[in-house]
Amino acid sequence: MRIHEMRTAIKSCIMNNWKVRVNGGSKDDLAHPYAESGVGQGKTTSVRSLVTDPDLLSLAYELFNYDKDRLGFINFSLAQLDVNEYAGWLVPAKDGESMRRLRPMFVPTEGCGIIFADEVAQATLMHHNLFGQAVDEHRVGDFIIPDGWVIVSAGNPLSARAGSNKLPSQLADRFCFLNLEVNTDDVLSYYASNNVDHRITSWIKFDDQHLHNFDVSATGNATPRSCQRAGVFLNMGLDHSTLRGMLNGQIGETASASLMAHIKLYEKLPDFDSIVKDPSTTQIPEDRGVLFALCGSLASKMNMTNCASILTYIQRIPEQEFMAFMLKDAVLRNKTLVTHQAMKQVLGSQGNLKDLLL
């Protein structure tokens, strides 16, 4: 399942559950999503993005008169909570003779939103038994979870070797497991939208095998999360040896060697000022690795002033995949580019280019 499909599935579950609870429906009609994937693949980010989803906000207003511009979002790790902390700490009651429990920190009292329970599989059996009540009965002990809040769970599979435990069957049976797989285009779209260093995006576009090769015995792997962090390292002004050592520890030695080799290709790029001043005659590289580096660089530098020149230049590359990669990356980084007349002309004249951008 791709990340946008998982997001759509979770959104549909939230809308369904709101309607069921408001209409007094059966708990058997509720859907309990569980996002499952390897480490660092974007589960939390995807679910968190739903707090500003217009369809959810509209339905929240319709059903609960909720008029804020974003849903609430409570993110907690089930595995990191003490069992007593989850259930609510016991404190002396006012009568001095009995005990009462404090409201757990993840149980809201009002409003609408998402309770994101992460690292469910890493928790203990006692946690799982307690959590089953929240999923099935929408309460923790005597503390009722308001109808406007929906629980979304997440965890890593046993195969990820992330300290996961097998979920007890009575809990697993309540979940709809949404198995997320890494998709290169989804990762690149996220990176461009969040201005991740263009050298990372062009490297992955050129050599994406590392995203899909997870070595459970290694300390560093090229997951979407770790590659994004690698982009931060590239801008620390580090010498070659220090940078290589940090990349080894973040994305693994094999991926690090590939990334460093790709960065070396940037030395072969045509002069950017020459491209802008003379896009019709400036040399086009022939090496595919250099072309991907070139497209990543141009995408990061394209603006409303140089857009026409860069488009003139990039259209001279015979293979349309390079143009599609550059345009998608550029537009996601700077959405105003779609209003440029030259961009409109290119998108309108390049046949199936729009399909390639999707």
Q: Are 314 and 345 in contact (CB under 8 A)?
A: no
The rounded percent of the chain whose pLDDT value lies above 70 is 96
The dihedrals phi and psi of 125, each to the nearest 5 degrees, come to -60, -35
Kindly state the average pLDDT of the residues 139-155.
95
pLDDT at 281 over 60: yes
Average pLDDT over residues 39-63: 94
pLDDT for 214 beyond 90: no
Report the pLDDT averaged over residues 303-332.
Answer: 92
User: In this structure, which long-range contacts are made by residues 342-346, counting pairs with CB atoms below 8 Å and at least 24 apart in sequence?
Assistant: 342/307, 342/308, 342/311, 342/312, 343/307, 343/311, 346/311, 346/315
